[in-house]
Structure 1
Amino acid sequence: MAEKILQNQNPKLEAMTVEHETPAPKEITVDEPKLTRVARPLRHVRHIPVKSLVFHSKHGPITFSYENKIKLPISKNKLAVQVNYVGLNPIDMKIKNGYTKPIYGEAGIGREYSGVVTHVGSNLTDRWNVGDEVYGIYYHPKLAVGALQTALLIDPNVDPVLMRPKHTLKPEKAAGSLFCLGAAFNLLSKLKEKGQLDTESNILVNGGTSSVGMFSIQLLKRYYKVSKKLVVVTSGNGSTVLSEHFPDLKEEMIFINYLSCRGKSSKPLRNMLDSGKIVDYDDPNSLKETEAYTQNKFNVVLDFIGGYDILSHSSSLICANGAYITTVGDYVGNYKKDIFDSWDNPSANARKMFGSMLWSYDYTHFYFDPNIKLISKKNEWIHECGKLLNEGIVDCIVDKVYSWKNLKEAFSYMATQRAQGKLIMKVEDF
């Protein structure tokens, strides 16, 4: 077949040329291929970035960390909260004091906060909404996490959280309210349940300008309606501070100056009981001639300072079947050395074990754990505390507010133990 085709070729046609009017197209030049970078396509963010304040050991500084992230979408039973303010607490310093080696990784700071809900789990949409302003407690001291960060993932079934009433409770005050108020409320509730607190109780408050002390004073007079004057041990200008912040209670308190008696407040207290006259605040050896003291021994001693001085004279100061309740213990609190969850000394352990078998009064070292799963359902303390704050029955006294860039100044001031109210840290946007 191929041979036949070749035989039929026409030489004339092979030599023929044809002129075309349209010129032939130019050759297309092709550049050498080069590899270049191009932008990645946009993707959905799968986490909330978090900036937090942490430490790695008791000897190291407190620094910023960017390691933590909140994964999206969040769990169906949780809330994500943008944190605006955080209340500082001596517990943070005690935890740091016990964090001896950096091998455990970074540990967070802060136990209470106020902020705004940014994400709501699918099971919580009937109770919470994005944009809700909230305040609460984030108390996980043994998990090395804290509230002093730009965002928190909280579980409302574990972490106490409330809606913040915008018109009656400022965010700074809200950030410092619930932990100390919760401690004071639960402490006094236990005394009430035991029948050791009523309107006729004679009460000594050791450490009146501590945050728990301030809330206790307000609760005793405004909530429990204690009729007798409160004897309040404070120091420096503490009497002035309490009188200015609580003018309605000014005449309901008798002050003992802790500094003027060199920490031995039992001496002016015994002097007052023996003489039947109120002791001069500035001079514990001087009596106010015109002011009589007729309240006798104390039914309740609330100790927020610590130490053994009052206990060593308990027979002269505390009534039979009275109560001595301390949040610190037999040693005077020292924020630079105290360790969180440390053992009490042998004498304190003996009082806790044998109680009124050896002493005429009940002794309690009170620890406040705000984890609501561990508290009786009958004690709706979180809602009661919210109501007390909302109605103005109690008020959170703020001593100072710091930017978190000034964290060294804030913790240095807290270590002096001279704060008269809460120290609050403002968390910047991130």
Structure 2
Amino acid sequence: MMKALILKRYGKSDQIDFADIPRPTIKDDELLVQVHAAGLNPIDCMIPKGSFKPILRYQLPITVGSDLAGVVLEVGSRVTRFKVGDAIFASLFDLPHGALAEFAVVPESAAAMKPASLDFVQAASIPMVGLTSWQALKEKAQLRAGQKVFIPAGSGGIGTFAIQLAKYLGATVATTTSTRNVDLVSRLGADEVIDYKSQAFEEILQGYDVVLGTLRGDSIEKSLRILKPNSRVISLVGPPDVAFARARGMNFLMQFVFGLISRKIIRKAEKHRADYSFMFVQPNGQQLASIGALIEAGHITPVVDKVFPFVQSKEAFAYLETGRAKGKVVVKMATN
């Protein structure tokens, strides 16, 4: 048996709690990992409320949490890239097994060797924000040197990573933050910092090639005003579009619904000669290995705000939901 943080059913009230569950068994292409640390992400707070029920086909009850770092205890018969004793990190987002448990099942395809320069807490802070930034900026937007990218909420988990990746790719970066975090985002490489409490970014910025949509509300709509022609808006917060529904193999009805809810923003983007798309991060061990190499080379530094012990996982989620975290919130397991 093992201890895990479990989501039993969707609902508005707190539906996650600790439970003793059977230690998982692995398939031929999987690793059994002793979890040393688990990184929390805003979407981990939203899933228990049922916000992504139509999209994420989880079979409840499930172990919550998407990101982990730990040590390999067992390897499946078809695993070739890892051996017992390896320190790895991975994102388990959208997969059947969660991270907030003493042991976790990790597909070989989702895992990468932990960067040697990072401890387990730092490594666990990376997977989802690293992969999201990589897939949005490098793969989807194909951001390159000389371009300008707007990454709102620069002091958050995604923001602190995406700013550093965009700078590594040679882009000029603008961000928004509160007064107390201006120094932090500037140190990470932001070229233009907007204090959102006293300034409106859409009235200051102009000529941008890429917007990374990280904030709900009207932020994405406002960001259309700062774009130049043939630019891209990549939203991480919605609304989901038809292409996303198709990519996930959703039925015609869901494609129709997503087409309806995204129609307004797509039309507005087209008026600015911009392309709008919605993106969901995908676990990818090879990309995570590339991200690890950038970290080892000193191009990107993890930003960890607060570390909670495993027994205080629910308090960690509550803290994350306040929106005050600078960088990432991480849960550290009692591994000794």
Q: Higher relative contact order by CA 8 Å / sep ≥ 6: 1 or 2?
A: 2
Question: Match for residue 39 of structure 1?
Answer: none
Indicate if the aligned counterparts of 1:176 and 1:424 stay in contact, CA closer than 8 A.
Answer: yes
1:30-429 equivalences under 5 Å are: 49-57=1-9, 58=11, 59-71=13-25, 74-98=26-50, 105-124=60-79, 127-140=81-94, 143=96, 145-157=97-109, 160-166=110-116, 168-193=117-142, 197-222=143-168, 224-226=169-171, 228=172, 230-244=173-187, 246=188, 249=189, 253-261=191-199, 265-266=200-201, 269-270=202-203, 272=204, 296-309=206-219, 311-312=221-222, 314=224, 316-329=225-238, 346=260, 348-352=262-266, 357-370=270-283, 380-429=286-335
Shift of 1:111: 0.6
Question: Match for residue 247 of structure 2?
Answer: none
Distance change >3 Å, CA 344–CA 414, structure 1 → 2: farther
Distance change >3 Å, CA 344–CA 312, structure 1 → 2: farther
For the residue of structure 2 that corresponds to 1:87, the secondary structure is strand
The letter of the residue matching 1:135 is F
Shift of 1:401: 0.5
Which structure has greater strand proportion?
Answer: 2
Distance change >3 Å, CA 192–CA 312, structure 1 → 2: closer
For the residue of structure 1 that corresponds to 2:315, the secondary structure is helix
For the residue of structure 1 that corresponds to 2:324, the secondary structure is coil
Please give the alpha-carbon distance, in whole angstroms, between the structure 1 residues aligned to 2:315 and 2:87. 28
For the residue of structure 1 that corresponds to 2:21, the secondary structure is coil
Shift of 1:241: 2.2
Shift of 1:394: 1.1
CA deviations 1:209-243 (Å, max 9, x no partner) are 12222221111112x112x4x22111241212223
Please give the alpha-carbon distance, in whole angstroms, between the structure 2 residues aligned to 1:200 and 1:413. 37
Shift of 1:120: 2.3
Distance change >3 Å, CA 115–CA 322, structure 1 → 2: same
Indicate if the aligned counterparts of 1:330 and 1:345 stay in contact, CA closer than 8 A.
Answer: no
Shift of 1:330: 6.3
Indicate if the aligned counterparts of 1:325 and 1:364 stay in contact, CA closer than 8 A.
Answer: yes
Distance change >3 Å, CA 420–CA 127, structure 1 → 2: same
Q: Percent identity, please.
A: 26
Which structure has greater helix proportion?
Answer: 2
Please give the alpha-carbon distance, in whole angstroms, between the structure 1 residues aligned to 2:107 and 2:152. 35
For the residue of structure 1 that corresponds to 2:43, the secondary structure is helix
Question: Match for residue 244 of structure 2?
Answer: none
Q: What TM-score, normalized by structure 2, do the two folds share?
A: 0.83
Shift of 1:356: 6.2
Shift of 1:410: 1.0
CA deviations 1:162-207 (Å, max 9, x no partner) are 12233x11111111112111110110123454xxx33222222211
Indicate if the aligned counterparts of 1:117 and 1:131 stay in contact, CA closer than 8 A.
Answer: yes
For the residue of structure 1 that corresponds to 2:184, the secondary structure is helix
The letter of the residue matching 1:217 is I
Distance change >3 Å, CA 360–CA 122, structure 1 → 2: closer
Q: What TM-score, normalized by structure 1, do the two folds share?
A: 0.66
Alignment length, in residue pairs? 314
Q: Which of 1 and 2 has greater Rg?
A: 1
Please give the alpha-carbon distance, in whole angstroms, between the structure 2 residues aligned to 1:344 and 1:208. 28
Shift of 1:108: 1.6
Please give the alpha-carbon distance, in whole angstroms, between the structure 2 residues aligned to 1:356 and 1:164. 40
Indicate if the aligned counterparts of 1:355 and 1:363 stay in contact, CA closer than 8 A.
Answer: no
Indicate if the aligned counterparts of 1:139 and 1:371 stay in contact, CA closer than 8 A.
Answer: no
For the residue of structure 1 that corresponds to 2:313, the secondary structure is helix
Distance change >3 Å, CA 427–CA 204, structure 1 → 2: same
Please give the alpha-carbon distance, in whole angstroms, between the structure 1 residues aligned to 2:186 and 2:223. 29
The letter of the residue matching 1:162 is A
C-alpha root-mean-square deviation of aligned residues, in Å? 2.9
Please give the alpha-carbon distance, in whole angstroms, between the structure 2 residues aligned to 1:304 and 1:313. 11
Please give the alpha-carbon distance, in whole angstroms, between the structure 1 residues aligned to 2:47 and 2:132. 18
The letter of the residue matching 2:156 is S
